[in-house]
Amino acid sequence: MLGSIRKFSKSFVAKIFVAIIALPFLLWGMGDVFRSGKQNVLVEINDEKISSKEFITYIQKIKLSKKEIENIGKSKIFDDILTNYVSEKIISIEGREKGIQLSDSGLKKILVRDKSFQKDKKFSRVKYEKFLLENGYSAPTYERHIKSIELKGQLLNYYSGGIKLPEFIVDELYKKENQIKEVEFLNLSKIYSKKIIEEKDIQKFYEENKNLFKEKFISFRYLEFKPEILTKRKNFDEEYYEKLDQLENDVLDGKTFKTISSGNEKDIKKFKLVNSRKTKEDGTVIKDINKTLFEKIFLIKEINSPQFINFDNKYYVVEITEEKNITLNLKDKDLKRTIESQLKIGFKVKENKKFIDKINNKEFDKKKMLDLSQKNNVPVNKIKINGINDDKKFPPKLLAEIYNHNSGEIFLLSDNIVEDNFLVRIEKDTNPKINKKSKKYKEYLKKANAEYISKVYKSYDKYINKNYKIEINQKVLERLKNSF
């Protein structure tokens, strides 16, 4: 049990978060119950009061470093620590009311049996002290943490332990995941792909949404500092780098692009209003510029302010001369493709809804599925699915949906981006049998128990929310933060 704690024990989180599970009711969403008054009371949990002095003592035991406070932020640290402290208090109250406690001898057994603190299979005080020292714990603080963990475990076992699940629940879980389904399906995406989006529809969509198609365009110019320009030679010699250093200093000193490039006007490259896709207003794409250079240029924010750029042993002076937000037109091929794709998605969504409505109204059956297949020359395929993990044809999410339906049902399957769309009909279900003495049965018994316990924990969270009123004195909390 303690091994998992030590994996993250050097972090700030480990210093305060020692719960087996994080109780959802303690997520930091207590703004509605903040209130003023009662100067020395920080928190009230039902009738139990937590004083500011008690909380400060708790914080001091955590031994936060100055670096942790600076990195995380004082306010967030206070919120996290208080959240955890209230959690511990509620668990303590619950344990006390249910008569659940951990004695000193019980705590000793937990520590002594921890293999991480053993040497030659015996408890080593030296290893234990070394662990506390390395992780910044005092013995009382760490042992209180362990008590809290054990108490939570016992408390949750109190609610979920001792229950023997009936065999039919294990059987049902096994059937649910391993049932063999013989299905027929029609790939609607093949039918939808035949849809042709007309120019008038693209134009209409564009006109109705023109204000959404604005994009940043820039005009710029640049000069590459080649050796031929700086030294009139092709070599990257010492003189070249000396002149290069001087030009970089000129840029840093705020000299103008005209001054820096003086005498090399014929080598200056100029581009008029180009977007991040290297596309001009008229839809043409510029090709005679290095991709990396262009990306770096587009990141420049200052206008009419020369910038020095270098990469791959190439050196440039660059200046943005103009910046505009321009509404794209349909000459932009990327925009046109985007609109076309959007219209196709909209078409698929509408068609899917029509099928869903017909199925829900019992207006679509196997015969109509076959008619649709023949009309569009798209075959109805048949496959056998051997369990919920048999993803040879359908991805896991769609498989899970198939296993929510039974023999004779017809339904529509679609993914989140409407890329895969199917009409599916389950022809036959075959329920497998499981040997109750097999290893597989034991696996499913554990799985069924885990699912049951998960439901118990969720119910327990609701119980906590209902039975514990948490009120935090905002004025006291702010005062503590400011004085920390």
For the stretch 25-40, pLDDT in tens is 333 333 333 344 456 8
Of the candidates 299, 327, 355, which is a domain's last residue? 327
In three state form, how does the secondary structure of 111-142 look?
HHHCHHHEECCEECHHHHHHHHHHCCCCHHHH
pLDDT of residue 30: 35
Judge if 45 and 157 occupy the same domain: yes
Phi, psi (rounded to 5 degrees) for 119? -135, 125
Burial class of 223 by CB neighbour count within 10 A (0 to 12, 13 to 18, 19+): buried
CATH of the domain at 14: 1.10.4030
Kindly state whether residue 175 falls inside one of the protein's structural domains.
no
Q: 83 and 107: one domain?
A: yes
Residue 218: inside a domain:
yes
Q: Does 440 map to a domain?
A: no
In a domain, 168, yes or no: no
Which residue among 430, 451, 470 closes a domain? Answer: 430
- Asked if 29 and 155 sit in the same domain, the reply is yes
Do 146 and 26 fall within a single domain? yes
Return the pLDDT at 270. 94
What percent of the chain clears pLDDT 70, i.e. is strictly above it? 81
Q: Are residues 247 and 321 in the same domain?
A: yes
Name the band, by pLDDT with cuts 50, 70 and 90, for residue 281.
confident
pLDDT of residue 36: 40
Structure confidence at residue 350 (pLDDT): 94
Contacts 24+ apart (CB under 8 A), 3-7: 3/114, 3/115, 3/116, 5/145, 5/149, 6/116, 6/131, 6/135
Q: Is residue 238 part of a domain?
A: yes
Q: pLDDT category, 116, cuts 50, 70, 90?
A: confident
Mean of the pLDDT values across residues 152-181? Answer: 72
pLDDT top residue among 209 and 160? 209
In-domain check, residue 445: no
Cβ neighbours for 220, distance < 8 A, ≥ 6 positions apart:
270, 271, 274, 297, 300, 318, 319, 320, 321
Average pLDDT over residues 232-261: 90
Res 119: pLDDT: 83
Question: At 9, is the secondary structure helix, strand, or coil?
Answer: coil
The stretch 333-358 carries a mean pLDDT of 91
- Asked if residue 227 and residue 309 are part of one domain, the reply reads yes
In a domain, 119, yes or no: yes
Which pLDDT score, from 0 to 100, does residue 1 have? Answer: 35
What proportion of the chain, given as a percentage, has pLDDT over 90? 31
How far apart CA 337 and CA 345 sit, in angstroms, is 12
- 341 and 320 in a common domain: no
**pLDDT value, residue 138:** 72
Split at pLDDT 50, 70, 90, the class of 323 is very high
- Tell whether 289 and 388 lie within a shared domain: no
Q: Is the confidence at residue 101, as pLDDT, over 70?
A: no
Interval 219-231: pLDDT, tens? 999 999 999 988 8
Domain count across the chain? 3
The answer on 40 and 103 residing in a single domain is: yes
CATH at residue 267: 3.10.50
Confidence of residue 316 (pLDDT cuts 50, 70, 90): very high
Question: Using one digit for the tens of pLDDT, what is the confidence trace for 148-163?
Answer: 677 766 666 665 555 5
Do 99 and 46 belong to one domain?
yes
Half-sphere exposure of 181 (CA within 13 A, CB side): 30
What are the tens digits of pLDDT across the range 421-458? 999 999 998 888 888 888 888 888 888 777 776 776 66
End-to-end CA distance of the chain: 34
According to the per-residue pLDDT averaged within each range, which of 31-45, 169-183, 365-379 is highest?
365-379
Can you give the pLDDT at residue 83? 80
- Average pLDDT of the chain? 80
351 and 420 belong to one structural domain: yes
Q: Which of 7-16, 170-179, 255-264, 266-275 has the lowest mean pLDDT?
A: 7-16
User: Widest CA span of the chain, in angstroms?
Assistant: 92
For residues 84 and 192, membership in a common domain is answered with: no
Q: 37: domain range?
A: 2-162+460-483
Per-residue pLDDT band for 16 (boundaries 50, 70, 90) equals: very low
356 in a structural domain: yes
